[in-house]
Amino acid sequence: MLDLFLKGGPVMYPLLACSIIAMTFVIERAIFWIQSDRSRNQALVDEVLELCRVGNWDMVRVKVTGSKDYLIRILISGILHREFSMTKAMESAAADEIRTMRRYMGILDTMITVSTLLGFLGTVTGIIYSFESLGATVIEHPETVAIGIAQALITTAAGLIIAILTVFPYNYFNSRIEDAALSIEKYATSLEIVYKKLIQDTDNEEAPK
C-alpha cells in the first residue's frame, strides 16, 4: 500500500486527507444515528398523544422527563406553546432537529466531489509527466513513461474508491433524514389534530345549553 501511495505522486497526499476526513465524519454520523435510534421511544410518543387527547398536561410533563427522543422534544415544544402558536413552535423545533441531523453532510458531499476531481487531476498530471518523458528520455529510459501512466491510474483509482465508499453512507444518512422529517410531520400533525379536537370538545361542554 505504501508503495502504491508513493507511486501515485503528490496528488495522493490531498487524497489521503480526503479519505481521513470522509472516514471521520462517516463514523461521527453513524454514531449519531445509533444514539438517535437508541433514544427513540415510539410507545412514549403514542402515550403522549393519548394524554394530550384528554388534556392531561401534568402527566405529559411527568412522562417525558429525561427523554432524548427528538420527536418528544418537538411535541413538547408544541405543547408548551399550545396557547400561543403550537404549529410555529413545532416548526422551529423541527428545523433545529433537522439541522442537527444534516450536520457535516455538506463536508461528506464535498469529499465525494473533491476526491473524484483530485483523482482526475492525478490522471492529467500523470499523463503530462508521461509525455514529457516520452520526448526526453524514452529511448534510454522507457520506464519513465510507465511511471507517469502508473501515477495517472493510481490517483484515478484512489479518488474513485474514496468517492464510492463515501457515497453509500452519505445516501443512507440522507434517507434517514428524509424518514425523520416525514415522522416529524406525521406526529406534529397528529398533535395539532388532537389539540384542536380537545379545544372543540371543551368549548362544546362550556357552551350554554
Q: pLDDT tens for residues 102-111? A: 999 999 999 9
The least confident of 71-85, 90-104, 160-174 is 71-85
Domain coordinates in residue numbering, the chain:
10-202
Decide if 42 contacts 128 (C-beta within 8 A). no
Higher pLDDT, 166 or 125: 166
pLDDT digits (tens, 9 = 90+) for 47-61: 999 998 888 888 888
State the pLDDT at residue 187.
93
Separation of alpha carbons 133 and 130, rounded Å: 5
Asked if pLDDT for residue 196 goes beyond 70, the answer is: yes
pTM of the model: 0.84
State the pLDDT at residue 137.
53
State the pLDDT at residue 206.
59
Separation of alpha carbons 136 and 144, rounded Å: 10
Decide if 98 contacts 181 (C-beta within 8 A). yes
pLDDT digits (tens, 9 = 90+) for 89-98: 999 999 999 9
Higher pLDDT, 65 or 28: 28
Three-state SS string over 4-47 comes to: HHHHCCCCHHHHHHHHHHHHHHHHHHHHHHHHHHHHCCHHHHHH
Give percent of the chain with pLDDT exceeding 70: 86
Stretch 114-125: mean pLDDT:
89
